[in-house]
A and B are shown apart, each in its own frame.
Chain A
Amino acid sequence: MAEYRNRTTGEVKSQGAIRRDHPNMSIPRVWNDGVCDALNVDPVLPGARPTPGQYQNVVRDGVEQNDAGDWVEKWVVADMFSDDADSTKAEKEAAYQATLDENTATSNRTARNEKLAETDFWGASDMTMSAEMTTYRQALRDITTHSNWPNLEEGDWPTKP
């Protein structure tokens, strides 16, 4: 959604909001320099977003001018949690991580079960399961004891024979 900054007040608004502010004005669909001059606004260009750390978000913090003098979106990194009367920031982060781990574990168990189901037919009475397949299926069953569990990487999964 395109944003524009009022040159006098510094207020940042969307095109729609500016149109609503000028009910008696027909404003072109494309806003060139002349239209911006008539409306006393400057366009706000996309700004670079910083990379957030663990338990951090990137949030919008108004606008700023870049080296070229253009107005751009200002993004900052903010902590997801803070201390309050009920719990500390560290406690909230631990609870958040536990939720993430539980979701990941559920997803990986589902994936594990699907991989086991793919080879269940080897257990039929008229089939002979190879030693490699037996090892593979046991490794799948033991995946929850992997040192990286539940945050497995692709290489942590056993290779299907």
Chain B
Amino acid sequence: MTTTINADTVVGGAIVTGDASGQLGLQADGTTLVELAGTVVTVSTNATSTVISSDATFQKAIVENVYTLAGTDIDPSNGTIQTKVLSAPVTFTESISAGESVVLMIENGATHTITWPTVTWVTSAGNAAPTPTEKDTFVFWKISTTLYGAYVGSYV
């Protein structure tokens, strides 16, 4: 039997499907509760993001947003793969929170200087800002308040 709800409806308790092997419920405290085959997955939100409070397994590809960085702030909220073509010397800032990471691909580094925020560099030469080439890839991630940067390499 199908019940159609055509108006706002306040429900005091969970809405439970009749199939015991796959249930969907909405909790009264506003947290969304998904229960599938007896496994509870809690999905909620905080001020900035959606929170999945259990291990997640993706059996297909995860598509990340590729962002063309027009400004100079490296912010994973724009996309975790970012690209930038330099036409002048650049000074980057960062808005990376602890636990976040960004892949940054830069072109024209062989002809322009790049000034980074405070970075602990992970390179074959130790903690030193790498010498850029025409096309380079970097990865940045933050642990606590320390921003790490790895020079992946050149793809000229």
Contact = CB atoms under 8 A, between A and B. Distances in A.
Contact of B112 (A22, A23, A35): A35
A17 interface: no
B111 A26 contact: no
B116 A24 contact: yes
Interface string A17-32: 0000011111111101
Nearest to B138: A26
B128 interface: yes
A38 B113 contact: yes
B88 A26 contact: no
Interface core residue of A25, A27, A35 (most chain B CB under 10 Å): A27
A34 interface: yes
B132 interface: yes
Nearest to A26: B114
Contact of B114 (A25, A30, A37, A39): A25
A34 B112 contact: yes
Contacts of B89: 34-35, 37-38
B110 interface: yes
B126 to A, nearest CB: 11
Interface residues of A, number: 15
B111 A25 contact: no
Contacts of A30: 110-111
Interface residues of B, number: 19
B57 interface: no
A30 B130 CA distance: 14
Interface in B82-111: 88-89, 109-111
A113 B118 CA distance: 70
A28 B113 contact: yes
Contacts of B116: 24-26
Given A24-B119, A34-B88, A38-B89, A29 B113 contact: no
Contacts of B128: 23
A118 to B, nearest CB: 57
A133 to B, nearest CB: 67
A32 B135 CA distance: 17
Given A23-B129, A34-B88, A28 B110 contact: yes
Given A24-B119, A26-B130, A27-B113, 16 more contacts: A23-B128, A24-B116, A24-B117, A24-B118, A25-B113, A25-B115, A26-B109, A26-B116, A28-B110, A28-B112, A28-B133, A30-B110, A34-B88, A35-B112, A38-B112, A39-B113
Interface of B: 88-89, 109-119, 128-133
25 contacts: A22-B115, A22-B129, A23-B129, A24-B115, A24-B116, A24-B117, A25-B114, A26-B115, A26-B129, A26-B131, A27-B131, A28-B109, A28-B112, A28-B132, A29-B131, A29-B133, A30-B110, A32-B111, A34-B88, A34-B112, A35-B89, A37-B89, A38-B89, A38-B112, A39-B113
Closest 3 CB pairs of A and B: A38-B89, A26-B114, A38-B113
